[in-house]
Structure 1
Amino acid sequence: MSEDCLTLNIWRPASAKAADKPLPVMVWIHGGGFVSGSGQIPGDVLAQEGVIVVSMNYRLGALGFFAHPQLDNPVANFGLSDVVKALRWVQRNIGTFNGDKDNVTIFGVSAGGMMVNLLLVNQQASGSFHKAISQSGYIAWPLPVKEKQNQFAVRDVYGNTMLHAEQQGREKASQWLEGEATLKQLKALPGEVITGRFEGFYSPIVDGVTLENQPYKLVKTHSNEVSLITGGNSFEGSVMPYSGYTVPQYLQSWKTFPGQVDLLYKEDWNHSHERAAKRAFGDERYLFSAYFLGQQWQHKPSPAWLYYIDQKPTKESPGSPHGYDQQLIFNTFKSQDAKTQRLAKTLRNYWVNFAKSGSPVLNTDKTWSANTQGHPTWLVLPSETEEVNLYATRFKSIKTRLENRESTEGNGQ
């Protein structure tokens, strides 16, 4: 409830000694739609695998991502600035904990995965990390822009011209204060008022400083060149009820832009229109992000690996839900069958191997090919089989939707 929240948690193996070789560092960035979540994780689960684990808190909601005409501040992504500052702290101080400042891997799920994506295109973060794992990020999702960055505006998912960030901020402030806000009034507002009156997810802002353009455009030419793992789950749309997007509104967006949900998601559509909408929403927001990043990394000197988890927690589940990989990584299931335990151990091994060596695969009996041009390879879990061109038709349609949002009608020209 306060802006004074930039704190870090650190775990290290109990056997670590100052005289030992410095250990790889894994920095966790929590998710929560940029409105909730915290750095409170069972970091010991990974630390016992021989790595230093760091987590953090950062400003959320309007405390973390906000622009307003009364605020004379070029920065709008205060939460992103927090994470950059935390990574710099790690560079200066992690050696005290026997961590290797030259071998830092950032990783996170959902908004945390998106934060990883933002750090990939943030030049202020350059050199503060060396590998990245983006789990269910959404780099291709449209973001609001500040008025001075209007040339970088795109239309929203529904095809509408997005309000400038200052306009959005003015609307939020008028709700907090029940009228037009002055700078003095804004600064006097309690934190719980600012964070407690918003439904759905929050969005980072193209402010021209911490984020110079839509991140999916920046990643083509301005990304930090690091090795990457990215992917997601088979039913990411499980999170849709919490997102602020409704099923009818989202289905309407498919009439605005090319694509037919009933054909692309025929099996789900036959089950229910709601399931089809959720599946499409999860694919467009999260899985397409991994596909898109994989495409961009084909042209970069550092390799990228794509993963796709498709294990049903119950027989009735339509697939692996949003955040399932986080539960696997940190072993937070209340109960696990042997199959889930094996998958959790497999995923942790891949992540720790990547942090230690730069490759998720160390054993010669396992195969996970890096994504290469003309050969987009996904590792499908728990089978650990490779699949080329996973959902190629769906992703092609989603890419067309992305391109159509860039129409000049959407940027005020």
Structure 2
Amino acid sequence: MAHHIRHRPTGRGQRLALVFVCALCGLLWPALPGRGQPLPLGFQPDRVFEQIAANRAAYDRVVFVFGDSVVMMCSLEPVDFSQLQAKKNDTQFMISAMAEKMRQANDPGEQVRDPLWCMRSPASALNALFADSGLLTASDHGLTVPAARLVAAYAGALGMPLPKDVAARAEEIAGLFASGVIRDGDVVILEDAGYNGQNPDAYEQDWLVLGRTVLRGAAVTLVLFDMFDDIPEEPVMGIPPDGFRFEAAFPSPATGGSRSHNQALRDAAAKLAKDPDNKGTLVFLDMRRRMDAFRAALDATFGLAALTPEGIHPNLWGEAYLARELLRAAGLAPLLTNTGPYREMLAANASRLALSGREVDPAKAREFIDAWLLP
């Protein structure tokens, strides 16, 4: 069953619903009727990526994060889901909501003063940790990173689950290798969630296309991970819930039986790891099993959820755990010599991390953060 959260009273319910609806819109975009042109302002790389691409020589190592809204953004405030429920089948509303969210991301206004602002995406959370350990310097509340020994950036979507879009995106990523934007020593993280396409054989091929592009491009570390979810029992945009469940089984002629989309990814990763043409190294992270363990621990300790109620996106607790596991998988955790400020920031705002309005004792939160969230 999906977790349901309490909502704090807010006069900004409609605006906050837009923040979340746009994320769901991004996950659904490949399935929306009439799709044929890129979503307006959707899934563009963040500002830090643009800075890196413009002056790659100023950065020693880069963590490039590709994927959908799970790694593009994380809501910092409670969300009014009543409007989402009412508007979930309104395509035009959802498209305009995505455009609005991207405008906010490029011009965040007063949101930069939020003590949790650095948690707005996994890449920005990584950069906060890198900054505390002296690996980068930033200004404009982390929106500008002029140079760094180690920096992370959201680099855009992958085109999943449509093979034509995946092929086009793979070609663009190959161009980043050819131009030297992605180079030896970098880390590339690829993620996919949301609508799964209901075709595990095609999904495996998508991952093979993307994985070969990255692993043959340079001596990078490629991190792949399977997907967690907790999808309620109801259709979204007319799509049955199994269309979003990555452990749901679908027919797989390639295997002579059935398999899940997570299994298709795991099968692709096993093939990619053995490719003799690899320049890079693949690390596969069993994130679903790990997130399930984290969710159980968070629920047992505080009675809180780590995913938002639609069962796809991590809340701030879940995002912080995902960031830790990615840092460890990429081999970057030993470089973090000062995690104290990050720990205190999370502990001081522990009552906000689940977006539930439930109070959490900071001292008890510190113990939990030390055990589960520090790299």
TM-score above 0.5 = no
Q: Which band: TM-score by shorter chain?
A: 0.3 to 0.5
Higher helix share: 2
TM-score, normalization by structure 2: 0.36
Under a length normalisation based on structure 1, what TM-score does the superposition of the two structures give? 0.33
